[in-house]
A and B are shown apart, each in its own frame.
Chain A
């Protein structure tokens, strides 16, 4: 048993007051969870402390919350580890994960604490209903529904179940592992800046159907997700959702798969995401290192030197970048022809460019994807993934969607 101080961000709408922090002293084994700590505080100190939970075993996905600023499940975070993290951040920065910007209540606030407080907050990017309970409907579920989260097969349904090659379903097992806890949505740094972003949970769910061999509207789905300006090309590739997900879904990886699939379909998107990708890939093939000005030009107006005319957006974007370029020229940052004139950038020296091009040739004929989630690490008997995969296979795929 050990003593911990948990510092909880509380909010009670009926009080008419704003949110505030409250500290509780709890006493439990370090191997128990942050959720266990919260429930102890609720039992012993304040029954009105609101937290949503059910299974306490990282299966139901109810207890999404932020612990020391990290979006996670309260039941999957050991309180001893949370204490170590709180102590580490305090030692490094001199403050705890949350600034004490509102008054601290509770007995704990005057007492010498058992350690640095473990900071517990409701999930981000969602409205708070009460204390640690967020409104999942207004952001999470609305966005999930946005991606048509059900199978769209064509033709007459078979008499019994759909028969598919098990191999063809493996690709989507990772996205099927989602338990809809919302931790990824809570952590999403793109959504923080653009609340309209479809977001990691919904896009991972979208890939679950795009990758399903039974679905007959893959192309329509990809068009929809790429052509929405807040769709797949609105992800800032920050890996927050990858670290937040308690089930290893790696939503960002699924978004990158959606981009790859949309690219293969040749879908043009209003964000110039596909053009940017193709421009980047081609520049490295030609030059080996990045020609930044050419990347800018080609992202907005691919082939402008040839016959294609830049779009209105391209003209706007390119005009918009002129002040930045002028500032760069003034300070000397861009005061050289290769930096200013697209395409002047040098190639790699001494035949190295040919080596890079040979790699392109080789990779383009294979285009292999090595999925660590599926294949696991060699030697290190992939025990866990195997068990999980086995579980996935033993149930019907739709079972994973029952939540």
Chain B
């Protein structure tokens, strides 16, 4: 475990777009944990798989640029979005696989004085906040920082596809437990894990513009299943999942034809609550599905 976490930080697009509360809460939590985030404000969108669908080399080069910008700082990289993790890991896998291809891609970056170098010993990494929290910071250390244990709060994990599949690409060989980290974090924060069918399924967001009905049926089904399993809230490391599960929740309710109304927290918000941050500081009032129930449970003495 590193003594001091200092990383090149890629916040992604959506955390500064339709889920600004994610960007804000991450900054707050980093401060509380004593992490230093060096923001990559010149870096570009990961392409979310869509640019790769259009032109694979373009996606690989755009992400090689982001990696190179991070490597310029001499630090490993952190993202706060499952989709960024998946799209970037996909490009990194291709870049790392072949030196000739890497050289070809780097050629396009040479004019900018940039070059992505494969880390032979694996010391340069690009990890989601969730992975960094468990693997580099440590759950014991996290638990020791808890000021307001989430006692009695029933939390359903929602991973987002890109951080759990494909396993072979996402480092599951070396870190086989990456698909149960959310459970571990919830536990370390003193919360109660809710098991329901949708935890590792698709939120439907990638087809929200292409097939709204399919997309919202997915979101609505998972939220409904979590409610039926007794969840007080969901937690997700992916802002795109958050868009479909929270922002679109009233629309999803219409498609699955039932009442929903379940708070969906970003991972840094859940951590922040346990570290004693104020829900308002964590931007929870910006959510569409009310988080009042979560706040009441945490302040009503249940947590005492």
Q: Spell out A's residues near B (CB within 8 Å).
A: 88-89, 92-95, 99, 189-190, 192-194, 197, 229, 233-240, 242-243, 250, 256, 259-260, 263, 271-273, 276-278, 280-281, 284, 288-292, 296, 299-300, 317, 320, 323-324, 327-328, 331-334, 339, 348-350, 352, 355-356, 358-360, 362-364, 366-370, 372, 375-378
Contacts and interface: CB of A to CB of B under 8 A. Distances in A.
A339 B211 contact: no
15 contacts: A89-B180, A93-B180, A189-B161, A242-B166, A263-B53, A273-B210, A284-B47, A289-B17, A355-B112, A359-B109, A367-B55, A370-B101, A377-B96, A378-B97, A378-B99
Interface stretch (B27-35, B136-144, B285-293): B285-293
| Number of chain B interface residues as a range | 35 or more
A194 B217 contact: yes
A290 B195 contact: no
B45 A288 contact: yes
Nearest to B16: A289
Given A236-B206, A239-B161, A92 B183 contact: yes
Interface string B29-71: 0000000000001101101111111111110111001000000
Nearest to A89: B180
A375 B101 CA distance: 11
A328 B18 contact: yes
Main secondary structure of the interface of B (DSSP, over half): helix
A272 B209 contact: yes
Contact of A240 (B49, B165, B248): B165
Contact of A234 (B16, B52, B214): B214
Contacts of A272: 209-210
A375 B97 contact: yes
B108 A359 contact: yes
A10 B180 CA distance: 28
Contacts of B115: none
B61 A292 contact: no
A339 B212 CA distance: 21
Given A190-B207, A333-B288, A348 B94 contact: no
Contact of B18 (A194, A299, A339, A368): A339
Nearest to A327: B288
Given A242-B165, A355-B65, A378-B98, A277 B50 contact: yes
B285 to A, nearest CB: 6
Contacts of B287: 331, 333
B131 interface: no
A237 B172 CA distance: 20
Interface in B152-208: 161-162, 165-167, 176-177, 180, 183-184, 193, 195, 201-202, 204, 206-207
Nearest to A93: B195
Contacts of A263: 53-54
A117 to B, nearest CB: 15
B212 A327 contact: no
Contact of A370 (B97, B162, B207): B97
B214 A236 contact: yes
